[in-house]
Amino acid sequence: MSHVVIIGNGIAGITAARHIRKFSDKKITVISAETEYFFSRTALMYVFMGHMKLEHTQPYENWFWEKNRIELKQAYIDEVDFKNKALFSVEGEEITYDQLILATGSVTNFRGWKGQELKGVQGLVSKQDLELLEENSANLTHAVIVGGGLIGVELAEMLHTRNIEVTMLVRENHFWGSVLPAEEGKLISDHIQQHGINLLFETELDEIIPDENKHVKAITTKDRKQIDCQLVGVATGVKPNISFLKNTELETEIGILVNRNLETNIPDVYAIGDCAQQREAIGNRKSVEAVWYTGRMMGEAVAQTICGNPAAYNPGNWFNSAKFFDIEYQTYGWVFPKKKEGVTDFYWEDKKNQRALHFQYKTNSKEFLGINAFGIRLRHEVVDTWLTEKISIENVIQQLPKANFDKEFSKKFSKQVQKSFQQSQLQKA
C-alpha cells in the first residue's frame, strides 16, 4: 500500500486527502504544524470578533479523520530529502513517503521595512497570527494597517469591534486599487470611513519606530508623517510558504513551479493551493492563486492524478467574493481596474442602498466580459453560463432578473439597471 503524505492541512491539502480516500485505499498522512485539525482560515476574523469559537471553524467533526483513515500529524517539517523520499521534522522525526503533496499555503509578505521584526508587527494568516493578535491587542489604543486589500479590511473590522482606533495606509487613491475600478473603490472607501476607520490614500509605510522594549511605538510614512501606534498590521499580501524548500532540487520561483497536472520537477512530488505556481499562468489568472476555491479545485485535480487518472488543474470562469464591513462583494469573469483598450464599462450605483454593479464588455463585439456586484448577490450558475456562452451585454442586461440571488423580498434592482443601461447607450449614440 503506497503512502501519500500531504504537508499542510488547509483546504487544498484536506481536499486532496478526502478525494484520495474516496478513490483509493492508499495510506494517507496529513502533516501540519499549525493545528491538529483542519479549520477554515477564512473564519479567523469571526473568532476574534466573538461570532464563533475556534472549534466552530472546523468543517468536519474530530471523528471524521479516523473514520476515513486519514492520519493527522502535528509536526513542523523543516527538511525534505527528495532522493530518499523522506521528511524530517524539527524534532528529528523521519517520515517516508511514496507520493508527496506540498500544500503549505501562504505566509505574510513583509516587504523588508525597517523595524518589521519588532513586537507588535504582524500579519493575519494563521491561527498563531490570531493568537498573537489577541496578545497584541490587549493594551492597544491605536493600530496602523499597511495595505488596503482583503486582509487589511478584515483586520480593520476586527480591531474596530474592540474599540481600537484604526488607520489604514493605502497605496492607491482608493481602497483595493489593484483590483477594484475607481467607482467601486470610492464606494467601499466611503463605507469603510463611515465605520470610523481612518483611510490614508497614496500613503506608504517607510519605517517602524521602536520603544525601549523593542515594541512598536510609531510608524513614519514615505511623506514623512509620523503616526503613533502600538500595532502594525501587515496586509500587503501573502506569499507562498516555501522557505524550507529553498536549496533543494525542487524548482521554485515565487512558489513551487508546477505544470497543469500540478506536478513539480521531481517525480511523485506535487504542489497545490497557495504555495503552487503555474509555470504558465492560466488565462488572466495569476500564476500563484491564493484563493479558497482554487485550493479546493487543485486538491480535487491532484487526487485524480495520484489515483491513476491524470487530470489537469483546469479552472473555469474566474469568480470570487468578499465582504467589506457590511457590503458584500461578488465578482464573475474579469473586470479590469484600469481602463483597457477595446473594453467598455457600464457602471450602475444605488447610493442610498449602497449597491452597485459594474459590467465590462468588448467595445466592438459587445461580448460580456465580467461583472462586479456590491450589496447584491448574483446567481453563480447563471453568470457562469453567460460567460461560457459569451453572450452580449444587451442579453446580460435583459436577463439580469434571472441572476438575482438576493434574499426574498429584497429590493429589486434589474429595472433600474436596465433603464440606466438604455440611457447610457443613448448617450453614446
- Contacting positions for another protein (CB under 8 A): 11, 19, 22-23, 40, 42-43, 46-54, 56-59, 61, 131, 134-135, 138, 161-163, 194-195, 292-293, 296-297, 300-301, 304, 309, 311-319, 321-323, 325-326, 328, 330, 377-381, 384, 405-411
Q: Which C-beta is closer to another protein: that of 198 or that of 248?
A: 198
Pairing of strands 94-96, 70-74: unpaired
Per the DSSP assignment, residues forming a β-bridge with 239 are 107
Compute the distance between CA of residue 359 and CA of residue 128 in angstroms, rounded to an integer. 40
If the CB atoms of residues 194 and 226 are measured against another protein, the closer one turns out to be 194
C-alpha cell at 299: 486538491
Q: Rank residues 9 and 252 by Cβ distance to another protein and give the closer one.
A: 9
Residue with Cβ nearer another protein (266 or 311): 311
Q: How far is the CB of 48 from another protein (least distance, A)?
A: 7
Cβ at position 321, least distance to another protein in Å: 4
19 vs 85 by CB, closer to another protein: 19
Residue in the structure block whose three cell numbers are 467595445: 363
Q: Which helix (H) or strand (E) holds 311?
A: none
As measured in angstroms, the least distance from the Cβ of 292 to another protein is 5
**Measured from the CB of residue 413, what is the shortest distance to another protein in angstroms?**
13
Could you tell me the smallest distance in angstroms from the CB atom of residue 262 to another protein?
12
From the CB of 380, what's the least distance to another protein, in Å? 3
Instruction: Please answer whether residues 36 and 72 qualify as being in contact, where contact means their C-beta atoms are separated by less than 8 angstroms.
Output: yes
C-alpha cell at 27: 495510506
Judged by CB, which is closer to another protein: 74, or 220? 74
Residue 118: which region, alpha, beta or left (left: phi > 0; alpha: psi -120 to 50)? beta
Give Cα separations from 156 to 131, 162, 240 (angstroms): 16, 10, 24
Q: Beta strand 276-278 with 99-102: parallel, antiparallel or unpaired?
A: unpaired
Closest to 406 in 3D by CA, of 330, 333, 346:
330
Q: Nearer to another protein by C-beta: 53 or 83?
A: 53
Question: Residue 98 or 406: which CB sits closer to another protein?
Answer: 406
Instruction: Please give the order of strands across the beta sheet that includes 216-221.
Output: 205-210, 216-221, 226-228
At closest approach, how far in Å is the CB of 229 from another protein? 19
Quote the least distance from Cβ 131 to another protein, whole Å: 5
Q: Which DSSP string do the residues of 328-367 spell out, in sequence order?
A: EEEEEE---SS--TTEEEEEEEETTTTEEEEEEEETTT-B
Per-residue CA distances from 172 to 178, 182, 203 (Å): 8, 10, 8
Min dist CB 230 to another protein, Å, is: 15
The amino acid at residue 288 is V
In angstroms, how far is CA 395 from the centroid of its own chain?
A: 31
**Cell numbers representing residue 178 in the block:** 489593484
Q: How many whole angstroms separate alpha carbon 56 and alpha carbon 40?
A: 9
CA dist 276 and 254 (Å) reads: 9
Nearer to another protein, 2 or 161 (CB): 161
